[in-house]
Amino acid sequence: MTKPVVPDFRRTLTLRDVSEASGVSEMTVSRVLRNRGDVSDTTRERVLEAARRLGYVPNKIAGALASQRVNLVGVIIPSLSNMVFPEVMTGISDVLEDTGLQPVVGVTNYLPEREESVIYEMLSWRPSGLILAGLEHSEASQAMLAQAGVPVVEIMDIDGTPVDSAVGISHRRAGRQMAEAIVAAGYRRIAFLGTQMPNDHRAKKRLAGFEEALAREGLALADREFYSGGSALLKGREMTEAVLKRSPDVDFLYYSNDMIGAGGLLYCLAQGIDVPGRVGLAGFNGVELLDGLPRRLATMDACRLDIGRLAAEIIAGKRPDGIVGGEIIELSPTLQPGDTIRKV
Amino acid sequence: MTKPVVPDFRRTLTLRDVSEASGVSEMTVSRVLRNRGDVSDTTRERVLEAARRLGYVPNKIAGALASQRVNLVGVIIPSLSNMVFPEVMTGISDVLEDTGLQPVVGVTNYLPEREESVIYEMLSWRPSGLILAGLEHSEASQAMLAQAGVPVVEIMDIDGTPVDSAVGISHRRAGRQMAEAIVAAGYRRIAFLGTQMPNDHRAKKRLAGFEEALAREGLALADREFYSGGSALLKGREMTEAVLKRSPDVDFLYYSNDMIGAGGLLYCLAQGIDVPGRVGLAGFNGVELLDGLPRRLATMDACRLDIGRLAAEIIAGKRPDGIVGGEIIELSPTLQPGDTIRKV
DNA sequence: ATCTGTTATGTTACCGCTAACAGCCAGATC
DNA sequence: GATCTGGCTGTTAGCGGTAACATAACAGAT
């Protein structure tokens, strides 16, 4: 309603401004700024000088619309505070760095409906590819991904059917392997401590594989405890205390992630409990944090860096043999026994 | 060179496709999909049905170009693995959630030249605003930000001159306050342990403020130790060991962040060192992780959630009194004495 | 019957850039 | 001298939407 006090005299700059300032056509300016096509050195210099002097920043929106090319890769993850995704991101960035592609992160907070809208939002920018965590998505999400017309890589997990490509580990198998190692070390009264999150499918699969392997040995979980929210380290302490009080005869604690496992380890050490003699412990992920603990927690690394790398390579079309899509890459996590499982 | 094996029969969908499928003009479809302007209920239904059936996802690139409006906010931070930025992001997302704006994250790895290119890249998408960590930027970066023509909020720090708005704490003052508390508790032989990072200006300012306050009391740092890279928790242990061996008479360890502080605390406890009697400890940030430690490390929270919130409010034009730009908001971090400083 | 206002829809002209193609000109070739 | 290069630059026509401005259809008021 009120007239603007400050007139907007500084219109946003366009190619035309640079073109006028340097006395060549817009097309030539465009060519210079993108390093595409032949331009004489003198012209190039003049254009660059003008662009720099004016402080011109190209408008990628217009560029993308005209060229039908967008140098963005959507990366959709459940959470940033997880300690696991930063490393995946590092792998992705490493590979994309010299491809001209740029990752753009979206966070879903483990909510399928949130994921749906993030996918929609991302696709509406017509990215060159999509990387997203997990194989479980709403029907609408699946439909969008299938229609997207760009490479889609589902990461972290391979127990299921991907829309297009997948890079990850089998969490089911990871759970089995850990159970086998624990049983082999002579533990028998085993408890599980983990997240409550109904949508953390990977944790759920690990537990399923774990119980499956126990069953095969004629064993069942002796106890189980769940949490949600709050400081994972603290929750680990609290849950550990609760389980050990409730089931004093438990001799092994299997945690769904390293953070709560670390909390449990600190609790046991503080209580003077003999680890791994009286109680054994194991987590999952292989997070860097563990290196600083008084004792090395048994864990299983989830190949996060490699997962990021490979996913990015698929998007960037860098896979050997020029494989184009529909690739499923299973990585093998390695068990790191640390100091919290008895040696056999 | 080779002909594509699979013909691209599934062209990408446009408004025209939906328009034809529903028998109305493109404009009407556009109105329906954006919920703007009056459209009859029957038409709306028909359009939505067609859009859903076709799996149409609007092209925001074209939309943004035509409307000169981009619902993105660039957020530029030095690192994801820091534990400090996820919380800032949470604050930002909370506020932006119901404004139609969407955060887009860029990471600089503490490299000014990398920051420069991230800023350039972001501005080339003409976002509605920019939030970036710190007040120190290359000249070229400053120029771009000043020219950007959108709100720019520099966060975390207010010791310096912002380009436009700033929300943060005074790290210099935070350092001073901590030093005063330490001296007041009777400690005299104080050591500093921190990051080597030449570009972590905030850590540097904390140290400067810290030394300044010590000097005012006639004191100087008894020792100092720096690190770079690796697991912060582990580095904290190692540095602490090094310092205590080298300078056995040191009675306080001031860490530049909570993670290395936690490492130091674990080391001291494992060594049976009397904390806070023989040695006092303090960190910085107030990270959630600390809640799970055997003893509560003294720290200073950096108001990360509030910083994110306020920055987002400025971008979204939600500040009370309709303040528009050039706002500088200083928050006051609170000292959390924990259990690692002697009570006076 | 005409006027007015409201609601629902369509038309037109861009937004800022790039693909594709069309010139132009100096020097080489025949 | 005519033709043919190949390097450099310009012209034209969109890309897929949306703002702004018609227009149409119809109810109620005059």
Q: What is the pLDDT of residues A227-266, one digit of tens each?
A: 998 889 999 999 999 999 999 999 999 999 999 999 999 9
Confidence check: pLDDT of B55 > 80: yes
Share of chain B above pLDDT 70, in %: 96
Confidence check: pLDDT of A326 > 90: no
Which bases in strand D are touched by protein, i.e. have an atom under 7 Å from a CB? 7-20
Across all strands, nucleotide nearest A44 (CA–C1'): D8
Which bases in strand C are touched by protein, i.e. have an atom under 7 Å from a CB? 7-20
Looking at per-residue pLDDT, the higher value among B7 and A138 belongs to: A138
Give me the pLDDT at residue B151, please.
Answer: 96
The three-point CA angle A68-A74-A79 to 5° equals 165
Give me the pLDDT at residue B7, please.
Answer: 39
Ordered alpha helix ranges (H), chain A: 15-22, 26-34, 41-54, 60-67, 85-96, 112-123, 139-147, 171-184, 201-216, 232-246, 258-270, 304-315
Mean pLDDT in chain A? 93
Contact A237 B292 (CB under 8 A): yes
H/E element holding B253?
Answer: strand B252-255
Confidence check: pLDDT of B154 > 70: yes
A 160-219 residues with CB < 8 A to B: none
| Phi and psi, residue B172, nearest 5° | -55, -50
pLDDT (tens digit per residue) in A287-310 = 888 899 999 999 999 999 999 999
DSSP string, B181-228: HHHHTT--SEEEEEE--TT-HHHHHHHHHHHHHHHHTT---SEEEEE-
In this structure, of A93-97, B81-85, B339-343, the range with the lowest mean pLDDT score is: B81-85
Query: Which residues of chain B lie closer than 8 angstroms to A126, CB-CB?
Result: 12, 59-61
Contacts of A29 (CB under 8 A, 6+ apart): A15, A18, A19, A22, A47, A51
Nearest neighbour of A61 by CB, restricted to B58, B65, B90: B65
Contact B293 A266 (CB under 8 A): yes
Across all strands, nucleotide nearest B47 (CA–C1'): C9
Give me the sign of the Cα torsion angle A83, A87, A88, A93. positive
Contacts of A272 (CB under 8 A, 6+ apart): none
pLDDT (tens digit per residue) in A23-43 = 999 999 999 999 998 999 999
Give me the pLDDT at residue B1, please.
Answer: 32
Give me the pLDDT at residue A8, please.
Answer: 41
Q: Say which residue the tokens 């698929």 belong to.
A: A314
C-alpha B299/C-alpha B257 separation (Å) is 9
Confidence check: pLDDT of A159 > 60: yes
Q: Best mutation site among A13, A105, A238 for testing chain B: the one with the most B CBs within 10 Å?
A: A105
Query: Which residues of chain B lie closer than 8 angstroms to A121, CB-CB?
Result: 102
**Chain A 4-43 residues whose Cβ is under 7 Å from strand D:** 24-28, 31, 37-40, 42-43
pLDDT (tens digit per residue) in B64-119 = 999 999 999 999 999 887 788 889 999 999 999 889 999 999 999 999 999 999 99
Give me the pLDDT at residue A289, please.
Answer: 84
H/E element holding A128?
Answer: none
> What does the pLDDT average to over B151-177?
97
Structural domains of chain A ordered from first start: 15-66 (1.10.260.40), 70-169+304-330 (3.40.50.2300), 171-301 (3.40.50.2300)
> For residue B20, which amino acid is it?
E
Nearest neighbour of A55 by CB, restricted to B57, B58, B144: B144
Distance from residue B22's CA to nucleotide D16's C1', rounded to whole Å: 18
Give me the pLDDT at residue A27, please.
Answer: 95
| Both structure tokens of B335 | 């000292």
C-alpha B116/C-alpha B128 separation (Å) is 18
C-alpha A70/C-alpha A234 separation (Å) is 44
Distance from residue A61's CA to nucleotide D7's C1', rounded to whole Å: 31
Give me the pLDDT at residue A322, please.
Answer: 67
C-alpha B149/C-alpha B70 separation (Å) is 13
In this structure, of A81-85, A188-192, B51-55, B262-266, the range with the lowest mean pLDDT score is: A81-85
Confidence check: pLDDT of B216 > 50: yes
Confidence check: pLDDT of B46 > 70: yes
Contact B297, B341 (CB under 8 A): no
The answer to whether some atom of strand C lies closer than 7 Å to the beta carbon of A71 is no
| Both structure tokens of B128 | 């509605």
B 47-106 residues with CB < 8 A to A: 55, 57-62, 64-65, 70, 80-81, 83, 85-87, 89-90, 93, 102, 104-105
Confidence check: pLDDT of B128 > 60: yes
Query: Helix or strand or coil: residue B102?
Result: strand
